[in-house]
Structure 1
Amino acid sequence: MLRAGVLALGVFTAGCGGADDGSTTEPLVADQVKASPTSPADPSAATRARVELSETRIGRVLVGEGGRTLYLFEKDRNGKSSCSDACARAWPPYVTDGEPEAGKGVKADLLGTTERDDGTTQVTYDRHPLYYFAKDTAAGEVKGHDADGFGADWYALTADGKQARD
């Protein structure tokens, strides 16, 4: 019985890491991933999201809470997120309580929302659901840009809703 519990714990722990798909980012384990202030483990703690532009090493890109870079996931289709569970721990969705606000330089008509499978409301830009990258811990970091993980590529976005070029 103890042996089965240890085996199950090993399987669970292995399942909590990042994608094992040739990703260009380091694998993430559950204790390395921190929830972002607007992507909490408790969806009731969500606040009204604001999207702004900020200068990074790859140019001006969309940012959310605390100046943290926002990303699109190429696997998402028709404005719906395809990132949940381990993916959402590594790439926390940018959630909101209400309509998101556009900061200076952000095109308000490109902002929107989509309902996630868990019932939370995720911010979209030009119909792309937006995410943080758990390893971006400070304003202006773009560690997740041009990363391959969870079956597709991740990119920071420009004010036009296009992939940033570095």
Structure 2
Amino acid sequence: MEEGEAMRLGSLTLSVLCAVLLFPALLAAQNADLRGAWQVESYVLVDGARHQVDGLMLFSESDWAVVYFVKDEAGQPRRGAGEGGPYTRDGDQLVLLRDYLVIASETIGTLPEIPLRFDIPGVTDQVVEECRLEVDGDRIMIEFPSGNRMGFRRSSGP
């Protein structure tokens, strides 16, 4: 066997070995069970602005709910929201169907003021948010269609 062939065979063998060893871990992360409670850890806007945030997101077999508060530099809550509805998931694609929303906000950095608002089925249309989901053990990151990202740490559940 020539040296070039041996190197190609070695590279191919290494590639196959990496795929065999890494694929189960990637598959497990994509199929990780979301059911349970997730503590909000981070909120990063598409413009790179980071905000202090506190809250909790819950997933059941088919429904989700979140309550969160965005704080100002002094740690005071200036935006609050509660949202929920059904969801679907396919690998790293998380589709949040929002049936319920209550939100109000003062201006915080680049986050605009939002007057108190209520959305409920039968009065407002369902909102569909096609998100990207990253799973890393007991942490998840959700990237919303806006490009904003929220990070969570599992606090209870499977």
Q: TM-score, normalised by structure 1?
A: 0.28
**Higher CA-based Rg:** 2
Structure with the largest fraction of strand? 2
* Structure with greater contact order relative to length (CA < 8 Å, sep ≥ 6): 1
Q: TM-score, normalised by structure 2?
A: 0.29
